[in-house]
Amino acid sequence: MKPFQYATATSPAGARQLMGDNGTYLAGGNDLLALMKEYILNPKILVNIKSLPGLNKIQPGGKVWMIGAAVTVAELEDHPGLKKTFPALPQAAAEIASTQIRNVATVGGNLSQHSRCWYFRQRDVLCLKKGGDTCYARHGENKYHSLFAGNTCISPVVSNLSVALTALDATAVVQRGDKQIRMTMPELYAKAWDNPTAHNSLEPGDLILRVEIPAQDRRSAYVQMSEKSAFDWALVSCAAAGKVQGGRISQAKVVLGAVSPVPYQSKAANDFLEGKALDTDTTAKAADLVLEKAHAHTQNGYKIPIVRALIHRTLMQLKA
Partner 1 sequence: MPAWPENRVHIGSHAKRVDAPAKVTGAAKYTSDVQPEGWLYGMILRSKWAKAKITRINLDQARKIRGVKAAILRDDTGERTVRYYGEELAAVAGVSKQACLDALRAIEVEATELPFVVNVEDALEESAARVWEDAPNASKPRVREQGEVDKAFSDCAAVVEGFFSTPVQIHHPLETHGNTISWTEEGVTCWASTQGISSVREGLAGHLQLPQSKVRVFSEFMGSGFGSKFGLGVEGGLAARLSKEAQAPVKLMLTRFDESLAVGNRPSTCQKIKLGASADGKLLAFELENYGTAGIGGGGATEGGSGGVEIPAPYIYRVPNTRAKQFSIAVDAGPACAFRAPSHPPASFGMESIMDELAVKLDMDPLELRLKNDPFEIRQKEYRLGAERFGWKEKYRKPGSSPGPIKTGVGCAAAQWWGGGRGTQAEAQVNPDGSVEVRCGTQDLGTGTKTVIAVVAADIFGLNPEQIHVRIGDTQFPPSGASGGSTTAASVSPAIYDACTKALQELQKQTGVADARGENWKVACRKLGVNPLVVHGQWQEGLSSSGVGGVQFAEVAVDTDTGFVKVKKITLVQDGGLIVSKLTAESQASSGVIMGIGYALYEERVMDRQTGVMLNPNFETYKLAGLSDAPEIEIVFLDMPERGVIGIGEPVTIPTAAAIANAVANALGVRVSRLPITPQRVLAALGKDKLSS
d(CA 219, CA 17): 41
**CB closer to partner 1, 13 vs 45:** 45
Angle at 317 between CA 314 and CA 320, to 5 degrees: 170
Site string for partner 1, 204-243 (x = CB under 8 A): ---------------------x-xxxxxxx-x--------
Enclosing H/E stretch for 207: strand 207-214
User: Contacts with partner 1 in 78-117 (CB under 8 A)?
Assistant: 116
Q: Quick one: CA torsion of 110, 237, 41, 68, rounded to 10 degrees?
A: -10
Q: Quick one: CA torsion of 4, 1, 119, 291, rounded to 10 degrees?
A: -40
150 is a contact residue toward partner 1 (CB under 8 A): no
124 is a contact residue toward partner 1 (CB under 8 A): yes
**CB closer to partner 1, 181 vs 230:** 230
Q: Quick one: CA torsion of 286, 300, 118, 193, rounded to 10 degrees?
A: -40
Of residues 119, 189, 193, 264, which one binds partner 1 by CB under 8 A? 119
Size of residue set near partner 1 by CB under 8 A: 38
Q: How far is the CB of 269 from partner 1 (least distance, A)?
A: 19
Of residues 7, 248, 299, 316, which one binds partner 1 by CB under 8 A? 299
Q: How far is the CB of 118 from partner 1 (least distance, A)?
A: 4
Of residues 25, 65, 86, 118, which one binds partner 1 by CB under 8 A? 118
Alpha helices in 58-106 (DSSP H): 73-78, 80-85, 88-94, 99-104
- Stretch of 7-15, 205-213, 259-267, 296-304 lying at the interface with partner 1 (CB under 8 A): 296-304
140 is a contact residue toward partner 1 (CB under 8 A): yes
**CB closer to partner 1, 119 vs 264:** 119
**CB closer to partner 1, 115 vs 201:** 115
Of residues 22, 99, 100, 122, which one binds partner 1 by CB under 8 A? 122
Start-to-end CA distance of the chain, whole Å, equals 50
Beta carbons within 8 Å of 89's beta carbon, 6+ residues apart: 76, 82, 161, 164, 165, 168, 213, 220, 222
d(CA 211, CA 173): 6
- Strand pairing report for 219-225 and 179-184: unpaired
Return residues touching partner 1 (CB under 8 A).
Answer: 1, 116, 118-119, 122-125, 134, 136, 139-141, 143-144, 225, 227-233, 235, 296-302, 304-306, 308-310, 312
